Structure formats: structure tokens, C-alpha cells
Chains A and B, each alone.
Chain A
Amino acid sequence: MFFQTCFAFLIPEILVRLNKPYFDFKNIWPLDYSFFFDSRINELLANGTLGLFMLGWGIALIILGVPVLVYFFGKRWYCSWVCGCGGLAETLGDPYRQLSNKSLKAWKIERWMIHSVLVFSVVMTAAVLYTYWTGASWFFFVDSYKLREVYGAWIGAGFAGVVGTGFYPVMGNRVWCRFGCPLAAYLGLIQRFKSRFRITTNGGQCISCGNCSTYCEMGIDVRWYAQRGQNIVRSSCVGCGICSSVCPRGVLNLEVKNEKGRLGKEELIGNTN
């Protein structure tokens, strides 16, 4: 709420009033897919030091901010604490969180889809930059103007906007975050492979009740891990903490600890042999 109010609305509006570029300091490429569009870059470059700072800030977030913060806090620093889509999902979308599909099949689709969007956004951006530097609109065999048009209409407006919020009552409140957001995909890759964040399970205390899986908005079958005594390290987890809250037996805990042993052994405490 704070981030959305200040960074997405207040600061950009103040900037505009001051005849400065509209800039949301917390929005990051590739979610902010137009960050590298020629019009945006030109606008920033035309605004002297402040513009350059904004450009530098945006790039720094991409290459430094994301990896470093995900390493220390997990993806939640962005998806749950900062992001506007996330904020909407956790407030307006909260009554629909149990509707996310927990099946293995949905997980497979999710991985294909979200990473495809990530690739699409990277290719589209590369094409746009190519056009920016060279002036040629044909990037290999596609028209970069056409490409950004398609991305903007289908991913930016259609997927993120229409499906992303309109389908809350059908596919849960994080449908965009889970299946589409390219930034979430990027954050998730780092969370999966290089982070101190994990959800720990508490020994042998799980009773497989299913509250955790039911209420996971990202469609993670948390119980699958908990009932086998395994830590949960999933790229999609936005660290909202609901699984830990709804667990009636104190089994789940979001923890940030040494990377060693993060995946944890598959172990249920109980038998001594």
C-alpha cells in the first residue's frame, strides 16, 4: 500500500507537475516492458541529470537490485512488499486465493507459460533496442514495432490486465503473477537457484490437512513437501506467509538462513531406525 501510494502514484504525479518525466521508481523491467522503448529512453535522456539517474536507477534495479534483494529476502521483497499487481492481488483478490489450481498439470503449464513470457519480453526488448541503436525496424525476421505492439496488446493489456485481474474469481488472485509476469519469472529463477529464503517444515508434525495448499495463492501444493518433511523452495513462492498462518500444527515457517542445506533432507522425524 505504501509503495503503491508513494511510488506508483504520488511521486510520478509530483514529477509530472514539476515537468519531469513520469517515473515509477519501483517498477522494474521486464514487468515494466516499455522501460527500454525509444520514447522512454529519449524522454529520460532529454531530462539531464535526473533523467540519467532514472535510467541508471532502472538498470541498477534490474542487474543489482533484483538478485541481491532476492538473495537476502526471497522474491517476496518485490512480489509481496512492493509490487502494485501483488498489492491488488493481496487486497481485492484475497477472497479468491483458494481458487488457484494446485494440480501437477497446472504447475507444468505455469512453468512453460511464465518463462515463455519472459523470453518474449526479452526478445521484444532486444528488438526494440536494436531498432533504437540502428534505426532499422527489422530485427532478424520480425518487425520490432509489430513485436512491441503484439506484446503490449496481448501480454501487457490482455494477459496482465484483463486475465490478470478479471480472472481472479476463476483462477485465483495471482493468476498474472503465476502464469504471466516476466519479472516474477526472473525473480523466481534467482529465488530457486540463489537465495537464502525457504519455507521450513517442522520435523514430523504435519498432519496433511491441506490448509496450506488450499490457501496458497500461487497454486503450490505446499502439503506435498510438508508431509514428506521437505523444505519448500519454489520459484513461484511470493512469500505471503499464508501457509504458515493457516497451519494448525505450527509446521511451516518462512525463514532466511544460510544457503547450505537449504533444500533440506526429505526427513520426517519419528522413527529412530
Chain B
Amino acid sequence: MKKHIVIIGNGIAGITAARHIRKLSDHSITVISSETRHFFSRTALMYIYMGHMKFEHTKPYEDWFWKKNKIDLVFDHVERIDTIEKKVSLKSGELMAYDDLIIATGSKSNTYDWPGKDLKGVQGLYSYPDLQNMEENTKNIRHAVVVGGGLIGIEVAEMLRSRDIGVTMLVREKEFWSNVLPEEEARMIGHHIRSHHIDLRLSTELKEIISNTEGHVKKVVTSSGDSIDCQFVALCVGVSPNIDWLTGSAIETNRGILVDQFLKTNIDHIFAIGDCVERKYELPGRKTIEQVWYTGRMMGEVVAQTICGNPMPYEPGPWFNSAKFFDIEYQTYGNVPNQTENNLNGFYWEHADGLKAVHVVWEKDSYRFVGINTFGIRMRHACFDAWLQSDKNIHYVMDHLAEANFDPEFFDRYEPEILESFYKTNSEMVPERRNA
């Protein structure tokens, strides 16, 4: 039977779902978004600002793609869902009926109750409109304050520095992104941030944003009482599921939209995927809300199967992620906790230039390999995925580390140096001594 499937949100989750439903079926598909007419890569917003790309370049599919694949795009905003009549009402006044509904509305930037957070020149960065605002807000300015020490914060800092705008970063934690990164690498990234002429202030929070006579930001006051003159403030203190618009609906939410293993909400025929989702069930080593590109994509693949008559539980494999901190690429596979845990051992190697590092973690008793953080050295996802899924031990991983290297030809290789340092601090692991 041919169904009408309505997808709210044209980000990576919603679009992946649409594409896979099209691959698997002849259902009619409508994707509604009020952000942009066509799917673009949110992760590339910074490159538009920095002049590396134009907006057009960030669209992964040419505009004819959607019509050819019979995926209807509607540029409108969903205001309400009628879960009984199975209709969504749009801002334009239209009522659209659905057989299955997929909610993929992503995240929104967090803002806390800081005095002055609504002043002109104060904003977050998540959406394309945010980027357009930032373009306007940062014209001819001298200094900016970035609040938050996470992935968006450092991106915004890099964007501003590319236009030679002075940047002060306020980070609540002891080190940059230290709620995720272990101290060693967090400190290395901190040095790197400072090497890009950013005034990085750790263990410092925003207290107040002060306006000039035109209602525009003039300066900020920090928790340590310092005041910093600035013409722009970026609030980059995380994101939360974009679900406020569901208030009052029958769809069950907590911090995000609650879903079961099949990504179904409490209401039949309504599914939710991507950043806006909170899993009702636990998965080992994973949080119940995961707001990254990859999980959105994977959920899109899975929900398409379920909707097309092949019910499939969402079972992501080992955790992985990546980012880039100015010049330092970061990849992670498995779990490297940010604090030492009793049952785990770790080994950290950092190159003398402070631009490359590797951190591996394994279980003390069983030697089972648990995870790796790698900086400035590219590693193969396929290797680590296989090793994590087959419970390889740390011996195996260190013996085969060179196989996992994914750096381009003619790049220097660091495995000998890493292994030498590893065996120096873990002498019982030297191959000849392992069985002794």
C-alpha cells in the first residue's frame, strides 16, 4: 500500500530517511523545512563565513535531485501536529495529512538567563539564519567574546579569527572541552587555541552582557569580575533538542522526544530521529541524547527500514566522532573517558610540536581495548570499528597500530615513536615479556 510520509526537518536525519525510503519504496514523501529550501550541510556553515565555500557548495545534492527522486520539498513551518486526525498544520495555513510522520527537527542553541542575552550582537550559531545574522553582526567589529568551550565555540572563534577579529573565549571548565576530553589533550588544544591569538580564559563564566545606548552589546562582565569590551557575543554553550513546539501535544517528551528501539514515539505512526531524540532505552557506552551528524544519519537509515515494512531496531555500533580544532584534526573511536576510572588504564603520547597526540584506553584486568583519541594523525574507522566489535585487547591494537594509519602518502609516521614511549611506561606489555 502506498503511504504518504511526512518528514519535518531537512537536516541530515530527515533527508537520509527520505532518501532511504525512496530507495526502498514508492511511498510519497514530503519534507518540510522552514530553515532552507534545500538540504545543506550544517557542519559546513563555518566555511561559508571563512570564505572557503559559498552556500551553494554546501548542498550535497543538486537541486534537480529532489524532483527526479519524487521527494517533495515544502518550505514552510509546522506549527502543530494533530495526532488524532493525523495532520500537521503549517504556518501558511495548510493542513497536511500523513500516514507516517517523522520528526527530525534537530537542536536549538542553549541560552541561560544571563542578563543581556537578548541584546543586539548576541547570538548562537546553529542554523543558516544564525550564520546570516553573524555575518551582519560582525561587520566592522574589533573584538568578540565567545562563551563556551566546546565544538561550536571553537568553530566560532576560528571563524572570527579568519577575519582578524579579536576573540576572548570564556570557558567554564578547567580546560577546553574537558567535559569530554581527558586533561592531557584538553590542555594541548588549549595551547593551540592560544597560539591562534585567542585570549582563552579557563574556569571563567559569563556573568552579564552590558549594552550601549542603542541596545547593542558593549561589553561583558565575567564571573571573575573582569569586564571585556566587545561588539559581538557568541553564546556557544551547547544545544538541546528542538521540541518546545510540541508542548501540549500528546507526544511524550523529556529532554528530547522519547522513542523506543524502533525510533517510534508513544503515538502510533509518529517517529522521531536525529538531534531531537532521547532514547528511552540504554545502549552500552552511549548517552540517551546524541547530537551529532552521524547518529542523525544512522537513525535516518534505520527508520526508513521500519517504515518500509522491515522493522529494524536502532543499534549503532561503537561510538565514533571527529572534529577539527583550528589546525588539529581529532578523531575518536570507542570510549575515552575524560576522567580516570578505576578499572581502566590509559596511555597518552604527544608529539613535541604539540599538534599530534594519541590516547588509548584499555581495561586493567582483561586488557580489552576500550577506545582511542587521535589528534593530528588520521586513523582508519574500519580498523577500530572491527577491533572494538571483536573485543581485541590492547596488545593487538598496539601491534597493529600502523595498519590503522590513514595519513596521506609521504607523511611522517609516528608509530615507532608511539610504541617506544608506550613500552617504556608499560614495560610488561613488551611483546617478548607478555607471557612471562
Bits for A203-233, please: 1 = Cβ < 8 Å to B, else 0: 1110111110110000000011001000000
Q: Is A244 an interface residue (CB 8 A)?
A: yes
Known A-B contacts A204-B294, A205-B322, A208-B60; the reply to A249 vs B381 at CB < 8 A is: no
Name the interface residues of B308-339: CB closer than 8 Å to any CB of A: 312-317, 320, 322-324, 329, 331
B372 to chain A, nearest CB (A): 13
Q: Is A61 an interface residue (CB 8 A)?
A: no
Q: Which of B57, B60, B381, B408 contacts A205 (CB 8 A)?
A: B381
Known A-B contacts A208-B43, A249-B331, A271-B301; the reply to A203 vs B322 at CB < 8 A is: no
Known A-B contacts A104-B62, A209-B43; the reply to A269 vs B382 at CB < 8 A is: yes
Most buried by B among A204, A209, A254, A268: A209
A72 to chain B, nearest CB (A): 13
Query: In whole angstroms, how far apart are the Cα atoms of A254 and B409 in the complex?
Result: 8
Interface size class of A (residues with CB under 8 A): 20 to 34
Contact B43 A207 (CB under 8 A): yes
Contact B408 A273 (CB under 8 A): no
Contacts of A103 in B (CB 8 A): 62
Contact A250 B406 (CB under 8 A): yes
Q: Is B52 an interface residue (CB 8 A)?
A: yes
Contact B58 A272 (CB under 8 A): no
Contact A203 B381 (CB under 8 A): yes
Q: Which of A211, A241, A245, A268 contacts B52 (CB 8 A)?
A: A211
Contact B297 A270 (CB under 8 A): yes
Q: Is B198 an interface residue (CB 8 A)?
A: no
Q: Which of A204, A210, A213, A253 contacts B406 (CB 8 A)?
A: A253
Contact B316 A271 (CB under 8 A): yes
Contact A209 B331 (CB under 8 A): no
Q: Is A191 an interface residue (CB 8 A)?
A: no
B48 to chain A, nearest CB (A): 10
Known A-B contacts A203-B380, A204-B320; the reply to A209 vs B409 at CB < 8 A is: no
Contact B41 A209 (CB under 8 A): yes
Q: Is A202 an interface residue (CB 8 A)?
A: yes
Contacts of A270 in B (CB 8 A): 294, 297-298, 301, 316-317, 320
Q: Is A248 an interface residue (CB 8 A)?
A: yes
Contacts of A273 in B (CB 8 A): 302, 312-313, 315
B303 to chain A, nearest CB (A): 11
Contacts of B298 in A (CB 8 A): 204, 270-271
Query: In whole angstroms, how far apart are the Cα atoms of A240 and B268 in the complex?
Result: 52
Query: In whole angstroms, how far apart are the Cα atoms of A203 and B408 in the complex?
Result: 16
A31 to chain B, nearest CB (A): 26
Contact A204 B381 (CB under 8 A): yes
Known A-B contacts A205-B322, A210-B60, A249-B322; the reply to A271 vs B317 at CB < 8 A is: yes
Count B interface residues, CB 8 Å: 41
B400 to chain A, nearest CB (A): 16
Name the interface residues of A244-263: CB closer than 8 Å to any CB of B: 244-246, 248-250, 253-255
A123 to chain B, nearest CB (A): 35
Q: Which residue of A lies closest to B12 (CB)?
A: A208
Contacts of B323 in A (CB 8 A): 249
Contacts of B229 in A (CB 8 A): none
Bits for A184-213, please: 1 = Cβ < 8 Å to B, else 0: 000000000000000010111101111101
Query: In whole angstroms, how far apart are the Cα atoms of A207 and B293 in the complex?
Result: 7
Contact A268 B297 (CB under 8 A): yes
B128 to chain A, nearest CB (A): 14
Q: Which of A104, A203, A210 contacts B58 (CB 8 A)?
A: A210
A112 to chain B, nearest CB (A): 19
Q: Which of B44, B59, B302, B378 contacts A250 (CB 8 A)?
A: B378
Name the interface residues of B270-328: CB closer than 8 Å to any CB of A: 293-294, 297-298, 301-302, 312-317, 320, 322-324
Contact A207 B331 (CB under 8 A): no
Q: Which residue of B lies closest to A267 (CB)?
A: B382
Query: In whole angstroms, how far apart are the Cα atoms of A95 and B409 in the complex?
Result: 24
Contact A244 B43 (CB under 8 A): no
A71 to chain B, nearest CB (A): 17
Contact B52 A249 (CB under 8 A): no
Contact A203 B385 (CB under 8 A): yes
A8 to chain B, nearest CB (A): 25
Q: Is B53 an interface residue (CB 8 A)?
A: yes
Query: In whole angstroms, how far apart are the Cα atoms of A268 and B20 in the complex?
Result: 13
Contact B408 A241 (CB under 8 A): yes
Bits for B378-407, please: 1 = Cβ < 8 Å to A, else 0: 111110010001000000000000000011
Query: In whole angstroms, how far apart are the Cα atoms of A109 and B229 in the complex?
Result: 55
Contact A209 B322 (CB under 8 A): no
Contacts of B381 in A (CB 8 A): 202-205, 269
Most buried by A among B59, B320, B324, B382: B382
Q: Which residue of A lies closest to B61 (CB)?
A: A224
Q: Which of B382, B389, B409 contacts A203 (CB 8 A)?
A: B382
A213 to chain B, nearest CB (A): 7
Query: In whole angstroms, how far apart are the Cα atoms of A204 and B319 in the complex?
Result: 11
Contacts of B317 in A (CB 8 A): 269-272
Contacts of B41 in A (CB 8 A): 207-210
B292 to chain A, nearest CB (A): 9
Contacts of A205 in B (CB 8 A): 294, 320, 322, 331, 381
Contacts of A269 in B (CB 8 A): 317, 320, 381-382, 385
Contact B57 A250 (CB under 8 A): no
Q: Which of B52, B297, B316, B385 contacts A214 (CB 8 A)?
A: B52
Q: Is B47 an interface residue (CB 8 A)?
A: yes
* Cβ contacts A to B, 13 pairs, < 8 Å: A103-B62, A202-B382, A203-B382, A205-B322, A244-B408, A249-B323, A249-B324, A253-B378, A254-B408, A254-B409, A255-B409, A269-B385, A271-B301
Known: A209-B44, A273-B302; 5 extra A-B contacts, CB below 8 A, are A205-B320, A209-B43, A224-B60, A254-B408, A270-B298
Closest 3 CB pairs of A and B: A203-B381, A250-B378, A209-B44
B-to-A contact residues, CB < 8 Å? 12, 41, 43-44, 47, 52-53, 57-60, 62, 293-294, 297-298, 301-302, 312-317, 320, 322-324, 329, 331, 378-382, 385, 389, 406-409
